[in-house]
Amino acid sequence: MIILIDIDEVLADFEAALTSEWQKLYPHTLLFPSGSRKHYYIGQDEEGNKSELVSKIIHREGFFEQLQPLPGAIDAIKLMQHYNHQIYLVTSAGVSYPNAASEKYRWVERHLGKEFLSCLVITPAKSIVRGDILIDDRPSFRDERLASWEHVLYDKSYNKTVPRKRRITWENWTDELPELLT
């Protein structure tokens, strides 16, 4: 099978790095109520829009490159490869921060090895990438009905209300996606 996997919040712990930077800069303000992030875009919540401050942090040189892998993520990819699935990392890098693409490139090389660089697809239009499954924390995609893949949600507090999609974490994916273990 062709498995497409998102990077931010699925392989790389974007939220932890951002929260830690936020606490250093604004120790008296919560980025979002603890444990209950409800918005896919961090900083957009009922307590006021913090998007501008958030983008200042994430556009700092080195932000993407220093993200830690989420526990179990790298092992999951290795196990999928063991079962001979083709893995592609599909991520968007935006247009407002030109270094994001090269930092993601280096992140993949560091955590998955040089040979994985040929499996990195950088595009905001994930629906045009062909695959059997897309594992992504984003609640939905533009033109999703035209996509060849099934969207499997990477389970997060901010996508809990999305109905009728399978959802996984790196703790339970082998139970939820048994077809990947054949």
Nearer to Mg ion, 45 or 137 (CB): 137
The residue count of the chain comes to 182
Any catalytic annotation for residue 6? yes
Spell out, one character per residue from 112 to 151, where the chain touches Mg ion: x when CB under 5 A holds, - when not: -------------------------x--------------
Out of 3, 4, 5, 9, which residue is the one contacting Mg ion (CB under 5 A)? 9
155 binds Mg ion (CB under 5 A): no
Out of 8, 13, 21, 45, which residue is the one contacting Mg ion (CB under 5 A)? 8
| Bridge partner list, 134 | 4, 151
Mark the segment that binds Mg ion (CB under 5 A) among 7-15, 28-36, 58-66, 156-164: 7-15
Taking CA atoms, 151 is separated from 28, 126, 140, in Å, by: 38, 10, 8
At a CB cut-off of 8 Å and minimum separation 6, what does 176 contact? Answer: 152, 166, 167, 168
Nearest to 55 by CA among 30, 12, 18: 18
Residue 172 burial (CB count, 10 A) = 12
Any catalytic annotation for residue 45? no
Residues that bind Mg ion (CB under 5 A): 6, 8-9, 137
